[in-house]
Homo-oligomer: A and B are copies of this chain.
Amino acid sequence: MNITKTESIGRWISLLHRYGNVYMNEQLKDYNLGAGQYQFLAVLYDNEGLSQDELAHILKMDKGTAARAIAKLEKEGYVERKTFSVDKRIKKLYLTDKAHAFKSTLTSILSGWSNITTKDLSADEQAFAMKLLNKMSLNAEGYLNEMK
């Protein structure tokens, strides 16, 4: 029995993730950002005012990872953390002008990678790939959430 067969999906996921990070690091270098930050920024573009915990939850990332990613985004001037008197634990996240100005750049970078990886897929295949990956993610989430 050939073990590689069973492993192949995982292998491709791993490769796409690692190569995607290499690409993003390269593309984001000039903006003082890395592969570890852009996802948080991307979510904020569509949902300004989220807390760190909400952000981490949306991305299914550890809150420690979120804390450090956002600290970096703040340090580089992309986000601001604001505490309101309602609940002083919560730090709501807001985008700076620099971040707003950067949005179209990030969008092109992201669609650049998307175009590279799906370049020979038809529109139907792309849509189907998205559907399948979405399902697989939900299955993975569901399984690990049950574990806790």
Known: A42-B4, A116-B143. A20 touches B15 (CB 8 A): no
A45 contacts B3, C-beta separation under 8 Å: yes
Stretch from A6-14, A68-76, A85-93 at the B interface: A6-14
Contact (Cβ within 8 A) B134 A128: no
Complex Cα spacing A42 to B7, Å: 8
Residues of the B chain whose Cβ atoms lie less than 8 Å from the Cβ of A117 = 9, 136, 139-140, 143
A67 contacts chain B at the CB level, 8 A cutoff: no
Given A10-B20, A17-B13, A132-B128, A110-B3 contact (CB < 8 Å) = yes
Chain A 83-127, CB-CB to B under 8 Å as 1, else 0, gives 000000000000000000001001100110110111111000100
Give the complex CA separation of A83 and B114 in angstroms: 43
Q: How far is the CB of A58 from chain B (nearest CB, A)?
A: 10
Q: Say whether B7 contacts A39, CB under 8 Å.
A: yes
Q: Which of the residues B6, B110, B120 comes within 8 Å of A7, measured between beta carbons?
A: B110
Q: Are B140 and A10 in contact (CB under 8 A)?
A: no
Interface residue ranges, A against B (CB under 8 Å): 1-4, 6-20, 22-23, 26, 39, 42-43, 45-46, 59-61, 103, 106-107, 110-111, 113-114, 116-121, 125, 128-130, 132-137, 139-141, 143-144, 147
